[in-house]
Amino acid sequence: MDKKYGSPELSDATADLDRMVNDASKWFMEMVREIGPRVLNRPLGSVPVKPEAQLADFQAVYQDTAKLAQIHAERMQQMGQKQGTVDFIRWYKRNQKRLNNG
């Protein structure tokens, strides 16, 4: 986080609080980056996608290996290689099961 809140470089009481806000926001962003991909089921600020829409999206790509590779690469970029791969496999198996049972 490059932006600073307030005027933490000063030496008054308000500057002390500004430093606390800056430190807390830096800590929070680090936690979101480190822990978020392991516990969040979707990106912050996003809207949940209904299972029917997820299945329709899956049907459009499940036989297209290039598109599947692209989806996998996007997840690895967002979540890291290991977590992105785990998430991709879970997504694929879940939707394949829905498709076969649907």
Residues 35 and 57 occupy one common structural domain = no
Residues 32 and 1 occupy one common structural domain = yes
Q: Which domain holds residue 5?
A: 1-39
Mean pLDDT (the chain, rounded): 87
What pLDDT, in 10s, does the model give residues 38-51? 777 777 788 888 88
Residues 22 and 2 occupy one common structural domain = yes
pLDDT of 8 > 80? The answer is no
Residues 78 and 58 occupy one common structural domain = yes
Residues 30 and 53 occupy one common structural domain = no
- d(Cα 64, Cα 100) in Å, to the nearest integer? 17
For residue 2, the model assigns a pLDDT of: 56
Residues 28 and 76 occupy one common structural domain = no
33 vs 25, residue with greater confidence: 25
- d(Cα 26, Cα 36) in Å, to the nearest integer? 15
Residues 69 and 30 occupy one common structural domain = no
Residues 20 and 53 occupy one common structural domain = no
